[in-house]
Homo-oligomer: A and B are copies of this chain.
Amino acid sequence: MVKLKGFQKLTLTDQALQTWFNVLQLGKPNVVEVSLQEALHLVLAEDLVALEDLPRFDKSAMDGYAVKSADLFGASQSKPVVLQLTQSDQLDAKQANPVWTGNPIPKGADAVVMLEHTQTRGGELEVWSQLTPWANISKVGEDTTKGTVVAKAGTRLNPYHIGLAAALGYIQLKVAQKPKVAILPTGNELAELGTERAPNQIYDSNKVMVSAMCQELGAETVDLGLAKDNTEEIAQKIQRALKTCDAVITTGGTSVGGLDLVPDAVNGLGKPGVIVHGVALRPAMPTAVAMLESKPVLILSGNPVAAIIGFEVFGRPLICRMLGMSQTEPRPIVNATLTKRVTSALGRKTYVRVRVSLKADKLTAEPVSAKGSGSISTMTQSNGYIIVPENREGVSEGETVIVHMFGSLEVA
Contacts and interface: CB of A to CB of B under 8 A. Distances in A.
A193 interface: yes
A233 interface: no
A124 interface: no
A162 B199 CA distance: 23
A202 B330 contact: no
Interface residues on A, range: 35 or more
Given A189-B103, A377-B144, A409-B332, A203 B160 contact: no
A205 interface: yes
Given A160-B308, A330-B411, A194 B171 contact: yes
A193 B371 contact: no
A23 interface: no
A142 B379 CA distance: 14
Nearest to A6: B116
B213 A159 contact: yes
A87 to B, nearest CB: 13
A346 to B, nearest CB: 19
B202 A103 contact: no
Interface stretch (A59-67, A239-247, A262-270, A290-298): A59-67
Contact of A259 (B63, B159, B379): B63
B330 A408 contact: yes
Interface in A156-190: 156, 158-164, 166-171, 187, 189
Contacts of A95: none
A49 interface: no
A399 interface: no
Contact of A171 (B151, B193, B375, B408): B193
Contacts of A170: 193
A212 B409 contact: no
Contact of A208 (B36, B104, B407): B36
A63 to B, nearest CB: 3
Q: How many copies does the complex hold?
A: 2
A304 B163 contact: yes
A40 interface: yes
A204 B163 CA distance: 9
Contacts of A171: 193-194
B259 A100 contact: yes
A218 B18 CA distance: 37
A167 B302 contact: no
Given A54-B377, A193-B171, A162 B104 contact: no
A222 interface: no
Interface string A387-407: 000000000000000100111
Nearest to A258: B63
Q: Which 7 A-B pairs have the closest CB atoms?
A: A63-B258, A163-B209, A332-B332, A159-B212, A160-B379, A166-B205, A167-B205
Given A138-B375, A142-B371, A169-B193, 4 more contacts: A55-B202, A151-B380, A156-B408, A329-B408
17 contacts: A36-B193, A37-B208, A40-B212, A55-B202, A57-B199, A57-B200, A61-B374, A101-B255, A101-B259, A102-B252, A115-B257, A160-B406, A163-B376, A164-B379, A166-B208, A167-B203, A334-B335
